[in-house]
Amino acid sequence: MFEGKRVLVTGGTGSMGRVLVRRILSGEQGAPAKVIVLSRDDAKQYDMRIAYMNRSVATDDVTYRNFERALEFRIGDVRRYADVVSAMRDSDIVINAAALKQVPTCEYFPMQAVLTNCVGAENLTRAIIEHRMPIEAVVGISTDKAALPINVMGMTKAVQERIFIAANIHAPQTRFVCVRYGNVMASRGSVIPLFRQQVLGKSPITITTEDMTRFMLSIDQAVDTVFAALKDAKRGEVLVPDAPSSKMTDVAKAMVGDRGNEIRVVGIRPGEKVHEVMISQEECHHVRKAGNYYAILPMLPELQDKSASAPSARNRELSSADSLLDFDGTRALLEKHKLLPDQDSVPFDSKY
């Protein structure tokens, strides 16, 4: 899939981006000719570059010969069209991991979320259309919050999905697809690192509501979803993993173990759902099953497969309230991914 390809990863210094870049460079899906990371934070790029070069001591020379290496870093912003055009030049595959994803932050600064999540996506599609770039595929990374969105983050991600889907009409030489998944365990800003910090600090574990459920996906499973979309998703489809879900109270209890931390209910945050929906009731009427994934078919008639006559793979929404793991299953899942406080795991958000 990546053999000899030039791959651009926007937001490549984030939790998801770092693991994505590491796995692309591993050659498990073919050895790429180049992986380009476009992001705004020079400090994160510097740390990532040092990790890539296996350097324990940082000196200025690590930034030299950047453009000659298999992993190339570019300072830039998906909000700026010129930055996007420059980074996309000669790329074969684009994975858009750049995002504002913190729900409260997006509520307080909604226009900033629009600029990154929507205008950033539009800049990518505009560059391909206006410059007739021979990009093979673009993957937009979305969220379960884009289904029936009630918060700014979900709303902007829902629009991002539509921007990429519509781009298939205007740039038919490129395949635009999206992936949509839920809570990525241990990613930056997720609840498990918070619980871990509270447990080890002997503080109360804060739960927003006892009823809250979330889909549970490891960061590697999130990357697997991107790879599956690149391999198998058809133009305009949104790929959704068939992932398990858990009650957040069970996650908290599993993290606490026998330590005796108090579990305190603090109330739901603005813009937060009790249960997340990965596929809405409206979307479930045009869904196909693809292995361990669901593919939401595009609604635009130009992108619909007229020869397909199979019934939809679902007849109801896909909610995190469905098929919940019990406490033992939740604890086993956390233990499998080495996320319990007493496990000797890789530090959170430093998985490159």
CB-CB neighbours of 242 under 10 Å: 15
DSSP annotation string for 196-260: HHHHHTTPPEEES-TT-EEE-B-HHHHHHHHHHHHHHPPTT-EEEE---EEEHHHHHHHHHTTS-
Geometric angle at alpha carbon 195, from 194 and 198, rounded to 5°: 85
Residues tagged active-site: 145
CA atoms of 91 and 68, how far apart (whole Å): 15
CA atoms of 272 and 274, how far apart (whole Å): 7
Q: How far is CA 274 from CA 237, 239, 270, 318, in A?
A: 27, 23, 11, 14
- Cβ(229)–Cβ(139) below 8 Å: yes
CA atoms of 68 and 135, how far apart (whole Å): 22
C-alpha 97 chain-centroid distance: 6
CA atoms of 91 and 93, how far apart (whole Å): 6
